[in-house]
Amino acid sequence: MLTVIVRRVLLAIPTMIALTALLFFSLTALLGSPAAMMLGQDASPEAIAAVNARYGFDRPLHVQYFDWIAAAIRGDFGRSHTTQQSVASAILPCISVTLELAFFAIVLAALGAVITNTLPAGRRVLGPFVVGANLIGITVPNFMLGISLIFVFSVGLGWLPSTGWAPWSAGILTHLTHMILPVLTLSAYYFGVFSIVYRAEYRDVEKRLFIQAARAKGVSRSRVAFRHALPNAILPVITFVGLTLGQLTGGAVVTETVFSMPGIGRLLVSSIASHDFPVMLAIAMMIVIGVVFMNLLADIAYTIVNPQIRID
């Protein structure tokens, strides 16, 4: 296991370097001169040249990249061009909000999909409801689902707050009640995807010889489901969980906007609207690193869940 982890970490390092370099150069090529973005299209060449000289945008791109990545490793992502605030100090409070929202959404979606499609009684009783929830989660856009939940549970029933976010210091109950609707909104799509993938794989595993042999020996249905079928059927779900971090950011942008949550999604939208290049670059880099890290965890989880798998 240790050899697998070390090998994957060593492979992840050059992958992250290559992806961050591609990100830096592609953003610069697509967005154009950061100075022109900051000053607007009507800025004079003299003003653009002054900003380029001030922030070092007139240097070769590869020099800018190596300076930027060296500073980022030290935790220095520069300063916001809009607020002149440190990018790290602007991002850190937002990261905790988005990570908590993403964590609860992924855990709820994965556990809900696995449990409802594994329990023998649940599959019989809840089958039609699960199929309906899958269709709603996959087909209904996040913003529409969020507004619908607000209309039902906040406006109609008055059970939950409609918008806003409360820190843990405001009280556990207050914090969690503000998280319920955003988590349900963000997890709906992933519950549908995980459920469909897991259900298809589970049905395929049920037909295999070792499952039939376990049933012939008189092993209970629950033990067959959780001890024998689940570890083999859950592998595609692990893959999808490892690949959804980047998608979660896109979903979080909409969810955080609908529910007025001060997360990384809203910060990204505001930085794009204000052409704040350092903030955009830092958030994009963190997303890239997060996706690589989640894939690393997914590879390790493969060997934990099913030791028969050998990672080359």
pTM: 0.71
Per-residue pLDDT tens over the stretch 37-52: 666 666 667 676 776 6
pLDDT beyond 70 at 178? yes
Per-residue pLDDT tens over the stretch 75-127: 777 777 777 778 888 888 888 888 888 888 888 888 888 888 777 655 666 66
User: Span 226-231, mean pLDDT?
Assistant: 73
CB 300 within 8 A of CB 245: no
User: Span 189-217, mean pLDDT?
Assistant: 78
Cβ neighbours of 255 (radius 10 Å): 29
pLDDT beyond 60 at 310? no
Phi, psi dihedrals of residue 307, rounded to the nearest 5°: -65, -15
Per-residue pLDDT tens over the stretch 248-264: 766 677 788 788 788 88
User: Span 23-48, mean pLDDT?
Assistant: 67
Map out the domains of the chain with their CATH numbers.
2-73 (no CATH), 87-305 (1.10.3720.10)
Look at residues 228, 185, 180, 194 and name the one whose alpha carbon lies nearest to residue 115. Answer: 194
Phi, psi dihedrals of residue 262, rounded to the nearest 5°: -80, 60
Distance separating alpha carbons of residues 196 and 202, to the nearest angstrom: 10
Contacts made by residues 57-64, CB under 8 angstroms, sequence distance 24+: 57/33, 61/24, 61/25, 61/28, 64/24
Distance separating alpha carbons of residues 192 and 194, to the nearest angstrom: 6
pLDDT beyond 60 at 285? yes
Contacts made by residues 99-105, CB under 8 angstroms, sequence distance 24+: 100/179, 101/179, 101/182, 101/183, 101/186, 101/252, 101/255, 101/256, 101/261, 101/263, 102/186, 102/245, 102/248, 102/252, 104/179, 104/183, 104/187, 105/183, 105/186, 105/187, 105/190, 105/248
Among the residues of 126-223, which ranges form H helices? 127-139, 142-149, 172-206, 209-216, 221-223
pLDDT beyond 80 at 181? yes
Position 293 scores a pLDDT of: 75
CB 37 within 8 A of CB 31: yes
Q: Which DSSP letter does residue 140 get?
A: S
Position 303 scores a pLDDT of: 66
Look at residues 131, 138, 104, 121 and name the one whose alpha carbon lies nearest to residue 199. Answer: 131
Question: 58 pLDDT band (50/70/90 cuts)?
Answer: low
More reliable by pLDDT, 221 or 123: 221
Distance separating alpha carbons of residues 228 and 235, to the nearest angstrom: 13
CB 90 within 8 A of CB 279: yes
Q: Say how far residue 98 (Cα) sits from the centre of its chain.
A: 9
Tokens 């240097």 found at: 59
Position 56 scores a pLDDT of: 67
Q: At what angle do helices 172-206 and 235-243 cross, to 10 degrees?
A: 140
CB 92 within 8 A of CB 99: no
Look at residues 278, 221, 236 and name the one whose alpha carbon lies nearest to residue 77. Answer: 278
DSSP β-bridge partners for residue 86: 79
Position 33 scores a pLDDT of: 64
Top-ranked range on mean pLDDT: pick from 85-94, 162-171, 172-181, 212-221 = 172-181
Position 237 scores a pLDDT of: 77
Question: 302 pLDDT band (50/70/90 cuts)?
Answer: low
Give the sign of the dihedral formed by CA 134, CA 260, CA 39, CA 58.
negative
The type of residue at 166 is A
| Contacts of residue 150, Cβ cutoff 8 Å, sequence gap at least 6 | 162, 163, 181, 258, 259
Q: Mean pLDDT score of the chain, rounded to an integer?
A: 75
User: Span 121-140, mean pLDDT?
Assistant: 72
Top-ranked range on mean pLDDT: pick from 178-182, 225-229, 274-278, 305-309 = 178-182
User: Span 269-289, mean pLDDT?
Assistant: 78
User: Span 23-42, mean pLDDT?
Assistant: 67
